[in-house]
Amino acid sequence: MKAFAAQFATGLDRDANRSRCVRAVRDAAESGARLVVLPEAAMCGFGNPKTDLAELAEPLDGPFVSALAGAASDTGTTIVAGTFERVPGEPRVYNTLVVVVPGGLAATYRKVHLYDALGWVESERIRAGEPGVDNTPVLEVDGFCLGVLTCYDLRFPESARAAIDAGATVLAVPAAWVAGEHKVAHWRTLLAARAIENTAYVVAAAQPGPTYSGHSSIVDPLGEVLCELGPSAPGAAVAELGAEALEAARAALPVLAHRRFGVAPLVATTASPQ
């Protein structure tokens, strides 16, 4: 299966963002890709810390998901993309990934770990999703099983392992990985670590500089980088994912069979900020 990780920036113009996303899906299909991963906040950028994301959020049957559903139907692709979803009764939003297939919306994931770090306070505008089986979607795509993470979740190996325990063999990681000292090194290291420790493919689509770090990448189950972009230019990381290579990696390095610990959500009092 060919995977396509799109790298582009989004702003607050939802119509322009939607058109950019549909164009990326069509470009992916023309390349032969069946899995298309778009960045975090593909529907609408984060703006500045004062931007009211609730005013910009859309329902899951709104224009953005509807446009992706049409693109998926037209191209026969599976699309993963970042949106903002309203939270009833409060001013914050969910940072929600949607997984869209030719039949429409197939799954959602609400970001569990919020980026309250390095001077950013994501929880002021975003409500964390709840960890657990109800927020750990895994679905079949061309013989692979797709699981999802969002950006800062990459720093928490439990999130990836929960998806792997649910059957994932490919991890899609839409991101808006904020630029800064050490950030590209962290990004590369963590992508490789999540691939190696889970003997899984990782397909990571990032927003580019100058605000974000770029370096959208596809990594194989033994940590080899199959394709990586630079920090700033729009484009796409494209690579073939091989079922035989995945099986060979898991046979040679059976870490999933050898593990002695499980993963479970923490109690609410110690969970990520709500």
Active site residues: 40, 111, 151
Strand partners, 227: 218
The phi and psi torsions of 16 (rounded to 5 degrees) equal -65, -40
Report CA Rg, the chain.
Answer: 17
Q: Are 16 and 57 in contact (CB under 8 A)?
A: no
Count of CB atoms situated within 10 Å of the CB of 116: 16
How many Å apart are CA 224 and CA 11, to the nearest integer?
Answer: 32
How many Å apart are CA 41 and CA 126, to the nearest integer?
Answer: 12
DSSP 80-142: EEEEEEE-TTSS-EEEEEEEEETTEEEEEEE--S----TT--GGGTEEPPPPSGGG--EEEET
Token pair in block for residue 205: 């689509």
Token pair in block for residue 202: 């990782």
